[in-house]
Amino acid sequence: MSLEQYRKMIDDTDAQIVKLVAERIRQSKVIGKEKQKLGKRIQDVTREQQVIANVRALARREKINEKDIEAIFRQLIRLSKSAQGITVAFQGEMGAYSEEAAAQIFGNEVKAQPYETLDAVFQAVEGGEAIYGVVPVENSLEGSISRSYDLMLNSSLKACGETELRVVHCLIANAGATLDSIKKVYSHPQALGQCGAFLRHLNAELIPGYDTAGSVKLIKEQGIKDGAAVAGARAAEIYGMKILARGIEDNQNNYTRFFVLAREDAAPTGRDKTSIVFSVKHKPGALFSALKAFAESKVNLTKIESRPTRQRAWEYNFYLDFEGHREDEVIKQVLEKVDKYCLFLKVLGSYPKAT
C-alpha cells in the first residue's frame, strides 16, 4: 500500500472516532434527562471511576498506554457532563479565574453562570438555580478566602470536589494600546497587589474593582483607551481584548484552590480528602486531644487553621483538611474521638483530591 492509502485509512478511522464521540454525547444527553426526572445528581464519581477502570483494562488488553487512554476519556467525561446540562455558579464575570476553574473541572462547554457575590453563588446552588458552585477557598500566597469559609460554616452545601488553578496575571487593554499609553490599571485589589513590581514600573494609577474579568469588561464597554486591566488570558479571549504583557505577577508560585459545592458531597474514590470545622471545649488539652486522634490513627492532616467564631471575643473555630473519606471506617472512628472534645463539629464535605 502507498503512503496516501495509509493516510486515507487513518482519515476513515478518525471519522469513525468522531461519530462515536458524537453518539456518546447524544447518549449522555438522554441519561442527563433521566437523572433530572429521578432527581439524581449529574456528577456520579463512582460511575466515573468505573469508566476509567474499564478503559484502562481495555488499554492493557490492546497493549497501549493506560495513562494516555485515561486522559482522553477524562476529557470525554467532561464533554458528556456538559451535554447533560450542568449549570455551574461562580462569582465574577465571564473570564474570571473562578469561571476558568469551572471549565477546568467540567470542561469548556459547561454552562457557567456568573453572580456578583459569593453569597449569591451559595444561594443559587441552595435554591436550585445551579447544580454546582465553584468558589475560591485558598490562595498559595494570600491564604484562606475568609468569606467562602464563613458561608460554608452556615450553609447546608457540601464540598464535593476541588481543583487548583495556576494564576497567571496579564495586562489587558483595548486594541491600539501600548504599555506607554497606559495611565490607569483596573482590577481586584488582590490581583493588583500580586503584580506590585510590574505595576510600579508601569507608573500608572491603580483603580480597585470587584473582579479581574469584570475590570476587562469595564474598559471594553467604556472604551477606555488609556486604561488596562489585570486578569487572566481567558478574559482577554472572551472580550476580544489585547494582551500587553503576560505573567506579570511578582511570584510565579501563585495558585488558587477552589471547592466545588453541591447539595451532597462525593462518594468514596480511594483518593479522597475531607474538610471539617469544629470548636473545642474550654478545658486544658482539648485541642491537643482532638488533634492527637488523627496522629494515633495515622491520618494525614493537610491543613489546619483557626478563625474567630465572631460570636464571642477570643473564641475560635478550627478548620481541618485531611486525607480520607468520611465514610472510611478509620475516618468514622477518628471523627467520633474528635467529637468528644468538641462543642460542635461539622463535616464540610469529602471529595476526590485535586490532581
3-state secondary structure of 189: helix
The overall longest dimension of the chain from CA atoms, in Å, is: 83
C-alpha cell at 185: 490599571
Kindly tell me the burial class for residue 102, based on how many C-beta atoms sit within 10 Å of its own C-beta (0-12, 13-18, 19 or more). Answer: buried
Q: Cα 339 from chain centroid?
A: 29
Kindly tell me the burial class for residue 30, based on how many C-beta atoms sit within 10 Å of its own C-beta (0-12, 13-18, 19 or more). Answer: exposed
- Catalytic-role residue among 73, 90, 212, 256: 256
- Catalytic-role residue among 122, 258, 278, 294: 258
C-alpha cell at 64: 497501549
Distance, in Å, from the CA atom of 262 to the CA atom of 45, rounded to the nearest integer, reads 13
- The question of whether 258 is a catalytic residue gets the answer yes
Distance, in Å, from the CA atom of 61 to the CA atom of 155, rounded to the nearest integer, reads 47
CA-to-CA separations, 107 to 83, 160, 162, in angstroms, rounded: 10, 17, 14
3-state secondary structure of 61: helix
Catalytic (active-site) positions: 256, 258
